[in-house]
Amino acid sequence: MRKMPDAKAPIGVIDAGLGGYTVVKELQKILPKEDIIFFGDGKNQPYGNRTEEDILHLTHQCLDFLKERKVKAVAIACNTISTLIDKYQPDYDFRIFSIVQAGSNDVVALGLKEVGVLSTVFTAKTGCYARLIHEKAPNIAVYAQGCPKLARIIEDGGFDQQRINTELTETLGQLAAAHPTLDSLILGCTHYPMVSENIQALYPQFTRLINPAATQAQAIADYLKAENALNVDGEGSFRVYTTSDCEFYRSMTKHVGLKTPICVELVPAPTPL
Ligand code: DGL
């Protein structure tokens, strides 16, 4: 049974790493008074090369962490985890928001004829973007392209330009070659907005890069407003919990342009199967 969200409670944000910071940025922009708890499982990243059973097992542990902290709603700021939302939402009494749903809504709202989706291998294999887009607009052609290494390269830090560009060439290069007139691309992994300049420089044919983060943040704002659960006089605090490198996670809050977190804490990693 869904519980009424408590206005004073924090919003939880989960990612299999720090890509979810791109969603925190949008939440902080439109909901500056909300307290945000970020959980990034950098130790087990990439989730996108794991099995469905393993991803679900890890996700339950991430969500249990936020449940203990009494969140009023959760943004799954990870496309890979979002593809499985129907399998874990019933286990929790707070509302959970999928970034794949947000990205699919963006594509439908733009009225595109065709769109590419650059994502992890798991997200591509599920066909989740095509399924959700076709529920509302069956005629939009959706071309999925998985990247086995890109999220991990970003998570490793240092923004190694050669590794990033090689991975993009080997993956996005295939999509671009197969569809030379395709101009719209969903950044279907929350790490990828961090390398959008590389994408634009290598493949200028993609004149429209769709980052679903703003739409996901807006969906949460709309929900809280409808439930009368917006925190109107909160401090807008930001707490980061990571299973990997605290200093890196702290420095990336600056790099992405987030509020200064009141803590960046190392916590035990969820155990994989
Ligand atoms: N940011 C995650 C996503 O949006 C990365 C997934 C991974 O760990 O492979 O899919």
- Pocket probe mutation, ligand 1, options 58, 78, 98, 145, max atoms within 8 Å of Cβ: 78
Looking at the annotation, which residues are catalytic? 78, 189
Nearest to 88 by CA among 56, 62, 128, 58: 56
Q: Which atom of ligand 1 is nearest to the CA of 19?
A: 1
What confidence score (pLDDT) does residue 3 get?
A: 85
Which residues line ligand 1 at a C-beta cut-off of 6 Å?
Answer: 15-17, 19, 45-48, 78-80, 120, 123, 151, 189-191
C-beta separation of 157 from 143 below 8 A: no
Q: What is the pLDDT of residue 2?
A: 81
Nearest atom within ligand 1 for CA of residue 191: 1
What does the pLDDT read at residue 158? 85
The SS3 of residue 197 is helix
Closest CA relative to residue 44, chosen from 23, 27, 65: 65
What pTM does this model have?
0.97
Beta strand extents in 41-170 (DSSP E only): 73-76, 95-98, 114-119, 141-146
The residue to mutate among 15, 147, 156, having the most atoms of ligand 1 within 8 angstroms of its beta carbon, is 15
Q: Helix (H) and strand (E) counts for the chain? A: 12, 10
| Ligand 1: residue whose CA is nearest its atom 8 | 46
Q: Of 188, 176, 175, whose CA–CA distance to 100 is shortest?
A: 188
pLDDT score for 35: 98
Identify which of 24, 55, 122, 190 to mutate to test ligand 1's pocket (most ligand atoms within 8 A of the CB).
190
CA of 190 to the centre of ligand 1 (A): 6
Determine the atom of ligand 1 nearest the C-alpha atom of 81: 10
pLDDT along the chain (273 residues), means of 10: 91 97 98 98 97 98 98 98 98 98 98 97 98 98 98 94 98 98 98 97 98 98 98 95 97 97 98 96
Looking at the DSSP assignment, which residues form a beta bridge with residue 75? 13, 97
User: Which of 217, 220, 165, 230 is closest to 190 using CA atoms?
Assistant: 217
Token pair in block for residue 56:
């679900």
